[in-house]
Structure 1
């Protein structure tokens, strides 16, 4: 895989594919059989060595999953040490680990902190035991609060939590309870995701069988607006559709790379890599991943080279997810065109409907437009070229 040198630092993503229990709504690759843990870590370190000649500098390391905290801290420490031994890392990297409240203790969190990790993201999802049961989470609301307190005591000064809304039966009142509880805990970052029903997941099958009805789109939309208004009033920056930070310095530097067309390399089963013009992804099976690497081969399943048109549409979709939107001058330089001329009719229509705004070299969604992201992006059609 050839990756061109970019002026901005790149990111490293490390996928840990093990979970204690598979959440019924989750579409990310993971397994509950932990018998291959030792072989997996060995294979992961070998995969990292295959990319050591890539001429990039990195300023973010993100350990996701799955449930990374299903690994022992010594394994996480070895992974981070290998990264620093093999790659050029900036002096102030953001190093994140995702954890499940049920898989951490005061001691393990302190050990994670000692490995060099300086940012932690806790998968809370809800502070209601009723909704946690519906989501198939293995922790309780109390255990989530304990894990957050333990993480703070361990010395994490950049702490994020994930929450889910749009759960069947959820009301504005019950969702506001989750948000108010979160605010009392004072996390540095809050990600609020709408519950989605991905095909082939257990929750999708249950919905299709008539076991429950999904929340209507209009109600999910009202919860989104409630979320944005409430958290912004509490001092959080709504910097991306699903993400809020307590100040600019607490934004997820790693995730911003995904929304800004920055290069990144992904390690582990199913992990994706992007070099600015092409995307590749690894095999999903842990066993196949290990076998391929033990054979001395790259575990890449497939690679996709993006056409100029595909790059343009992705830049629009990802750019509009961010609060500041698309930086028009950067867009024009990158693609050799004039944004406001190429999409003149679409921009005019969207501005008239007050769905987008153009000012200070930015094209961004209005609050009203944010609810219609997918529909708006579909309007930037390629037949305008």
Structure 2
């Protein structure tokens, strides 16, 4: 199809359409409607969080008692504003726990070779996240104050936990799996 928007930025109108229809309409139809490829639609859904949001909704609908969201700060091009947006978005799912992890920069990776020191930026993002979550009623561990998570003797390594997403860990009684 010659009218495709190859490598052009997504407009706000297109992203809103994607968010509204992604779980209700076939991906091929969305692609046709927007003049994009199916792959571009899937990537945009993943990038915009639409696919992740559906997964978090499904976890809630399944009645899993403790929703823990792990977030990484210190990514290239991440700003205090985008980090705060990420935190606010995560809180919309009313998780019992949120954990904040710094991006670990290895010497021979793209970020590691950039010559830029990420320590100051990571510290700023961590403090922003910590302060924001505490203002929202989270304790030091960023566990909701009214949560029943952590009561009793729950231990993810022994009792089991499902991890979703890049770098997530899952546990059963006898298996530790990392993506």
TM-score range, shorter chain: 0.5 to 0.7
1:143 aligns with 2:42: no
Aligned counterpart, 2:66: 158
The whole-number CA distance in structure 2 between the counterparts of 1:230 and 1:155 is: 27
Query: Could you say if the C-alpha distance between residues 270 and 161 of structure 1 is closer, same or farther in structure 2, counting changes exceeding 3 Å?
Result: closer
- 1:193 and 2:91 aligned: no
Query: Residue 214 and residue 185 in structure 1: after superposition, are their counterparts in 2 closer, same or farther (change >3 A)?
Result: farther
More strand by share: 1
Task: Please report the TM-score for the alignment, with normalisation by the length of structure 1.
Answer: 0.27
Name the residue aligned to 2:127.
Answer: 225
* Structure 1 gap segments, 5+ residues each: 1-132, 258-265, 272-385
Counterparts of 1:150 and 1:215, CA distance in 2 = 39
Of 168, 172, 183, the residue aligned with 2:76 is 168
- Determine the C-alpha separation between the residues in 2 that align with 1:232 and 1:256: 27
Partner Cα distance (2:121, 2:175) in 1: 38
CA deviations over 1:199-256 (Å, ceiling 9, x no partner): 7xxxx43334x4x4556211211111111111011111122xxxx2113632494269
Aligned residue number for residue 254 of structure 1: 155
RMSD across aligned positions (CA): 3.4
**CA offsets, 1:74-115, max 9 Å, x none?**
xxxxxxxxxxxxxxxxxxxxxxxxxxxxxxxxxxxxxxxxxx
Partner of 1:235: 137
Larger radius of gyration: 1
Q: In the TM superposition, what are the counterparts of 1:259-274 in structure 2 within 5 Å?
A: 267-268=174-175
**Structure-2-length-normalised TM-score:** 0.55
| Alignment of structure 1 residues 1-385 onto 2, 5 Å | 139-140=46-47, 141-198=49-106, 204-208=108-112, 210=113, 212=114, 216-239=118-141, 244-247=142-145, 249-251=148-150, 253-254=154-155, 267-268=174-175
Question: Is the contact between residue 189 and residue 246 of structure 1 (CA under 8 Å) also seen in structure 2?
Answer: yes
Contact 1:189 1:245 in 2 (8 A): yes
Q: Distance in 2 between matches of 1:174 and 1:255?
A: 30
- Decide whether the 8 Å contact of 2:73 with 2:122 is kept in 1: yes
Q: Secondary structure at the match of 2:70?
A: strand
Q: Deviations over 1:272-306 (max 9, x none)?
A: xxxxxxxxxxxxxxxxxxxxxxxxxxxxxxxxxxx
Does the residue aligned with 1:197 lie in a helix, a strand or coil? coil
- Find the residue that maps to 1:227 and give its secondary structure: helix
Offset of residue 188 of structure 1: 1.0
Residue 269 of structure 1, CA deviation: 7.4
Q: Contact conserved, 1:169 with 1:215, CA < 8 A, in 2?
A: no
Q: Go from structure 1 to structure 2 and tell me whether the alpha carbon gap of 1:221 and 1:143 turns closer, same or farther (over 3 Å shift).
A: same
Shift of 1:198: 4.4
**Higher relative contact order, chain-length normalized (CA < 8 Å, sep 6+):** 1
